[in-house]
Amino acid sequence: MINMFLRKPLMGWNSWNTFRDEISEELIMQVADEMVSGGYRDAGYQYVIIDDCWALKDRNENGEMVADPKKFPHGMKYLSDYIHEKGLKFGMYSCAGLKTCAGFPGSYGNEYIDAQTFANWGVDYLKYDYCHFPQSGNVQQAYHTMSMALKATGRDIVFSACNWGQGEPGTWMRSIGADMYRSTGDIFDNFESVKKIFEIQREHIQEGAIGCFNDMDMLVVGINGNGLASGVGGCTEDEYKTHFSLWCLLGSPLIIGADIRKIDEFGRNLLLNNELIAINQDSEVRPPFEVRTFSEDTRAFIKHVSDNEFIMAYYNFRDEDNEVQIYFADIGVPTYSGYCFELTDIFSGECISGVRDYYTPIIPKHGCKLYRARLVKR
- Residues labelled as active-site residues: 129, 186
Residue closer to ligand GLA (CB basis): 127 or 366: 127
Give residues 179-198 in contact with ligand GLA (rule: CB under 6 A): 186
Phi and psi at 182, nearest 5°, equal -65, 125
Residue closer to ligand GLA (CB basis): 52 or 259: 52
Residue of the chain from 25, 34, 114, 129 that contacts ligand GLA (CB under 6 A): 129
Stretch binding ligand GLA (CB under 6 A), from 25-33, 63-71, 97-105, 306-314: 97-105
Q: Which residues are within 8 A (CB) of 173 and not within 5 positions of it... i.e. 6 or more apart?
A: 143, 161, 181, 212
State the minimum distance, in angstroms, from the CB of residue 213 to ligand GLA.
Answer: 16
Residue closer to ligand GLA (CB basis): 20 or 374: 20
Using CB under 6 A as the criterion, what x/- string covers residues 7-46 for binding ligand GLA?
---------x------------------------------
CA end-to-end distance (rounded Å), the chain: 52
Q: Residue 331 has what DSSP assignment?
A: G
Cα atoms in the 13 Å half-sphere on the side-chain side of 24: 7
Residue of the chain from 48, 162, 194, 326 that contacts ligand GLA (CB under 6 A): 162
Q: Is 9 helix (H, G, I), strand (E, B) or coil?
A: coil
The answer to whether 167 and 139 are in contact (CB under 8 A) is yes
Stretch binding ligand GLA (CB under 6 A), from 94-102, 113-121, 191-199, 266-274: 94-102
Residue closer to ligand GLA (CB basis): 78 or 164: 164
**Other residues' Cβ atoms within 10 Å of the Cβ of residue 253:** 27
Cα atoms in the 13 Å half-sphere on the side-chain side of 168: 2
State the minimum distance, in angstroms, from the CB of residue 92 to ligand GLA.
Answer: 11
- Residue 129: burial class (beta carbons within 10 Å; 0-12, 13-18, 19+): buried
Residues lying near ligand GLA in the complex (CB under 6 A):
16, 51-52, 100-102, 129, 162, 164, 186
